[in-house]
Amino acid sequence: MTASIHIAREVDLSALNTLGLPAIAEHYAEPASISELQAVLDEARSQQWPVVVLGGGSNVIPAPYIEGVVIRYSGADTRLEVEGDSALLHAAAGADWPTLVEATAEAGWWGIENLALIPGSAGAAPVQNIGAYGVEVGELIERVVYVDQADNSVNVLSASECGFGYRDSVFKNALSERAIIVEIVLRVSRHASARLNYADLAQRVAVPATPAAVAAAVSDIRRDKLPDPRQLANAGSFFKNPTVSEAKASALAADHPDMPRYPAADGVKLAAGWLIDRCGLKGVKRGHFGIHERQALVIVHFGDGSAQELSDFANSIAAQVADRFGIQLEQEPRRLGFSD
């Protein structure tokens, strides 16, 4: 028998998105189990409500009013399935990602330590294929469990079926309107070497390192460079690092020898923050929004702003980068609940 769950009306979501944007959900539910989630989906189908999925709220731009039902899966159980020197780390979608990384690293398991202090929930991690300091979560995922909105079926995808790419996955594409992730399973190991390819990380970690030491160093770097959304509203990196052809990168490097560039599978990856900074935009403030004074990749919200104002500000930044460098920036945060 399907579980029942309370569905609230006209719920304020301003505290549930790290940009602090005003947003109201027509209906809202926080199922803590698969059966409760299926009950909400049954009601949504019977009422013909659109379904909008909200995770930790750290990478979204919510519409001012979201019609239908907003679902925030709250199940947060975790468990470790040890298999010799490696283990499968099971995390329910509602588990807090920074807490999960810290606990795993402190327990001596290698794998996700470079992804420390990235805000959000475990269930959101594969959607965006979160990454930092040379590691993407897609490299570590064994499988993802999701509920299909269409028929309540519980499905399992292997890592190869998740379509992981740079800040991308099947959950942002073919399954974006169907899948509600309820669990991720990660492979962690007792024996691995620290991945210290980035100079600022290598300088802070003594070798031989421990997972906890790497996680602590990553956390320190992020605190130094990025504003805490609890103190200054933001969604982290607002733009993706663009990938260009080798010819384009070489032409730009001829004019800008100090331009950071990194090999990528389909060309050369550039640093969006560097491009924005070179346009003289770091620290710029316009209305209720601005670019962070220490990190040009982060748009901050000073309060009382709107999603439309944010969109206009972000578009103006992208336009200036396009005018100067001939590169079109793409924003990272997902638009949530907009009719378009």
Same domain, 34 and 102: no
By residue range, what is the domain housing residue 258?
233-336
Same domain, 112 and 219: yes
Residue 330 forms part of a structural domain: yes
Low-confidence residues of the chain, pLDDT below 70?
A: 1-3
Residue 66 forms part of a structural domain: yes
The pair of structure tokens assigned to 293 is 């004074």
Same domain, 39 and 90: no
What secondary structure does DSSP assign to 59-110, as a single string? Answer: SEEE-SEEEEEEE------EEEEEETTEEEEEEETTSBHHHHHHHHHHTT-B
Active site residues: 167, 237, 332
Counting DSSP H helices and E strands in the chain, the numbers are: 8, 20
Residue 1 forms part of a structural domain: no
DSSP state of 240: P
Same domain, 84 and 216: yes
pLDDT of residue 1: 38
At 3-32, the pLDDT tens digits run 678 999 999 999 999 999 999 999 999 999
Same domain, 289 and 323: yes
Supply the pTM of this predicted model. 0.92
Among 191, 225, 259, the domain boundary falls at: 225
Same domain, 220 and 122: yes
At 271-314, the pLDDT tens digits run 999 999 999 999 999 999 999 999 999 999 999 999 999 999 99
**Geometric angle at alpha carbon 139, from 161 and 147, rounded to 5°:** 40
Residue 87 forms part of a structural domain: yes
Same domain, 87 and 217: yes
Among 166, 200, 225, the domain boundary falls at: 225
3-state secondary structure of 289: strand
Residue 3 forms part of a structural domain: no
Same domain, 183 and 269: no
Residue 2 forms part of a structural domain: no
d(CA 108, CA 157): 27
Total number of domains in the chain: 3
b/e map 94-129, b = 16+ CB within 10 Å: bbbbbebbbbbbeeebbbbbbbbbbbbbbbbbbbbb
For the chain, strand residue ranges (E) read 8-12, 24-29, 51-53, 60-62, 65-71, 78-83, 86-92, 131-132, 135-136, 141-148, 154-158, 179-189, 233-237, 243-244, 261-264, 267-270, 285-286, 289-291, 298-301, 334-336
Same domain, 49 and 123: no
For residue 178, what is the domain's CATH number?
Answer: 3.30.465.10
Same domain, 210 and 304: no
For residue 309, what is the domain's CATH number?
Answer: 3.90.78.10
Among 71, 95, 111, the domain boundary falls at: 71
d(CA 106, CA 301): 34
For residue 56, what is the domain's CATH number?
Answer: 3.30.43.10
